[in-house]
Amino acid sequence: MSHNAESTAFRSALEVIRAVEPRVADAIGAELTDQRESLKLIASENYASPATLLAMGNWFSDKYAEGTVGRRFYAGCQNVDTVEALAAEHARELFGAAHAYVQPHSGIDANLVAFWAVLADRVESPALKKAQVRQVNDLSEADWFALRRELGNQRMLGMSLDAGGHLTHGFRPNISGKMFDQRSYGTDPATGLIDYDRVAEAAREFKPLILVGGYSAYPRKVNFRILREIADSVGATFMVDMAHFAGLVAGKVFTGDFDPVPHAHIVTTTTHKSLRGPRGGMVLCQPELADQVDRGCPMVLGGPLPHVMAAKAVALAEARRPDFADYAQRIVDNAQALAEGLLRRGAKLVTGGTDNHLVLIDVSGYGLTGRQAEQALLDSGIVTNRNSVPQDPNGAWYTSGIRIGTPALTTRGLGTAEMDQTAELIHTVLTQTTAGANADGTPSKAKYTLDADLADKIARQATDLLAPYPLYPAIDLA
């Protein structure tokens, strides 16, 4: 696509929007400006291609398409069938999966589809068998009660939240924590690494129906072969949530024992993050779970979003190109360079480094909470997010950590030299930020002090660092 074509497409779209609600058009333009000028280090964010973005802004948005390819509850879905089938085909080929389901609207939705697919496949109860063979209205109240109790009383074992697990892996604030009797496995207190022997011990004791692998803030590879062996040893279904590192799997940076797809019964992911597609979710599974997974809508999902499935097809096609593997490797190279730059400057990192796309800084060494550090960095043009560290004394709201990632800056073209400069900017801000106090003189976990002139100086330096690597260089909205 030419320079003029991309600029024309987006400028024309904004003109159409502006004619109806100019404030929305202004906000869209301002978002592009903000993203162009900020060091985006949020590990779960990226920049989708213009083709992916444009695939979402069309009349596919106008279609209802409950059901699956060739089996819709609405007529006139032949074109939706085309894009959904293409997205699923690209996903199967990209990841070497037996089956792909591309309808989930988000990672949480993908996990819900997976949970219910496993429950429906695995739970052996008279009430469930009746539900599968009889009309819903024919079930007695006693049958319904037994079914709800059976499905809501299964066990899940997943990584603890402070060790790097995700809210959807059985934690009480999320629906997964209300569906399952959940227990967590953590990491070794000395190293921050997964202790597979302890995971096996917990599985033998707890006997979960589902063993969950995957993470949102664990900066190392995971051996999925070992986790599958543990799951098999206790008769559990092995599920992996690879939302964060799907791009590293797609790009063949994670292979063998570190590629979850050959080892897991079912794999969930988002399609943004390191995969660099639209915001959405996806489920990959073994053939025996395919029928249950394909019932995601209407089981737990609302109507599919055909315009987003079209964008998923485009992004997955892009990920099958040879240059995506180079991109995925550069993500890891940059993360390791960023970690090394921080370590040289005295930062404390969880696990002492990284094998993947993210780095977790324990900011207690700077005398700060995660919330204080996050805001001070944002004041300085560096966008991150606070995150718990193992055994975090500040809990999940204030935290003691900052999670940073390299997928977005790698998309812009920054390399290892720029990662070292980024480490210097981060370290400068954190060393120059001091914790504040409440009105009564007690230490505050939220208030902080950072010289405004220094923050402005760092923000300018961040903008200068990004200048040789323009974001969406072919798009000119002026």
Please identify which of the residues 270, 351, 384, 433 carries the catalytic annotation: 270
Cβ of 27: how many Cβ atoms within 10 Å? 11
Sign of CA dihedral 244, 83, 90, 292: positive
Please identify which of the residues 241, 318, 392, 418 carries the catalytic annotation: 241
Using alpha carbons, select from 300, 367, 296 the residue that is nearest to residue 99: 296
Q: What does the radius of gyration of the chain's CA atoms come to, in whole angstroms?
A: 23
φ, ψ of residue 49 in degrees (nearest 5): -70, 160
253, HSE (Cβ side, Cα atoms, 13 Å)? 25
- For residue 173, cis peptide bond before it (omega within 30 degrees of 0): no
Strand partners, 449: 434
Q: Are 341 and 426 in contact (CB under 8 A)?
A: no
Q: Is 279 a catalytic residue?
A: yes
9, HSE (Cβ side, Cα atoms, 13 Å)? 18
**174-200 burial, b for 16+ CB within 10 Å, e for fewer?**
bebbebbebbbbbbeeeebbbbeeebb
Please identify which of the residues 37, 45, 66, 229 carries the catalytic annotation: 66
Q: Is 273 a catalytic residue?
A: yes
Please identify which of the residues 18, 45, 63, 64 carries the catalytic annotation: 64
The helix or strand, by DSSP H or E, that contains position 97, with its residue range, turns out to be: none
Q: Are 293 and 117 in contact (CB under 8 A)?
A: yes
CA–CA distances in Å: residue 243 to residues 64, 248, 268, 283, 419: 26, 10, 7, 10, 24
Q: Is 66 a catalytic residue?
A: yes
Please identify which of the residues 36, 40, 279, 445 carries the catalytic annotation: 279
Residue type, 118: V
Task: Identify how many contiguous H helices and E strands the chain contains and give both numbers.
Answer: 20, 16
Alpha helices in 194-305 (DSSP H): 196-206, 224-233, 246-250, 287-293, 296-299
**440-466 burial, b for 16+ CB within 10 Å, e for fewer?**
eeeebbebbebeeebbeebbebbeebb
Active-site positions read: 64, 66, 241, 270, 273, 279
